[in-house]
Amino acid sequence: MMVSITQAHAQLNSLVSKKKKYTYSYVTVNDMVKRYVSKSSHPMNSIEGIYSVSGTVTKKGKNLVGAMKEKVVDRKNNYADIAIIRDWSDSGTEFIVLSLKQNDEERYAIVAELTTLSEGRGFLCKHFEPDGKILTFTFTFDGDSDLLEGVFTQQEGNKTVTYSISYLKTFPKKEIVRN
């Protein structure tokens, strides 16, 4: 039994057209995080949420005549978006920081881990660099302004290099109550 290419193509099309077509709604990782932190059981003073990241790098040292000089060598505003979410209880980490950089994979990098220091207003942050280097930042959290600010300092020769990073919460925002 010989089937022509035209007949085979027609049979294939009839099989394909009989398949059920489904329409799904899709969500991005940003949408998933927003749904997670919007749950009614979620405390509004939590650090969990979506943040915009800004940072500066400054170098401080003596110039040729011996005077102290400080110079900003790099500044980036709103260069990344991250999500801070509570980690599961058995992980040994309180919070993880996810990069929300859009990619074609279904995996998102954990770029840091946060551990509460005292009263929920201070955090120790282990920041993971792409090259495997780990930087330890000390963060303070001002729950009223939704701002996390961190500092890491290291010596490079006779200069002190300070990395300052700010996370500004963009979701969920606190409602301002006006009288």
Mean predicted confidence (pLDDT) in 89-99: 88
> What pLDDT sits at residue 64?
81
Percent with pLDDT over 70 in the chain: 79
> What pLDDT sits at residue 28?
79
Tokens for 98, please give them.
Answer: 């996810």
Query: Which SS3 state, helix, strand or coil, does residue 11 take?
Result: helix
Mean predicted confidence (pLDDT) in 141-165: 91
DSSP 13: H
Euclidean distance between CA atoms 78 and 54, whole angstroms: 5
What is the reported pTM? 0.76
3-state secondary structure 14-73: HHHHHCCCCCCCCCCHHHHHHHHHCCCCCCCCCCCEEEEEEEEEEEEEECCCCCEEEEEE
Cβ–Cβ contacts within 10 Å for residue 49, how many? Answer: 23
Residue 3: pLDDT over 80: no
Euclidean distance between CA atoms 172 and 120, whole angstroms: 18
Query: Which SS3 state, helix, strand or coil, does residue 6 take?
Result: helix
Mean predicted confidence (pLDDT) in 81-99: 89
Higher pLDDT, 125 or 64: 125
| Rg, C-alpha atoms of the chain | 25
Mean predicted confidence (pLDDT) in 50-68: 92
> What pLDDT sits at residue 176?
57
Residue 136: pLDDT over 90: yes
Euclidean distance between CA atoms 156 and 174, whole angstroms: 41
> What pLDDT sits at residue 12?
63
**Range of weakest confidence among 18-32, 41-55, 89-103:** 18-32
Residue 75: pLDDT over 90: yes
Euclidean distance between CA atoms 73 and 112, whole angstroms: 24
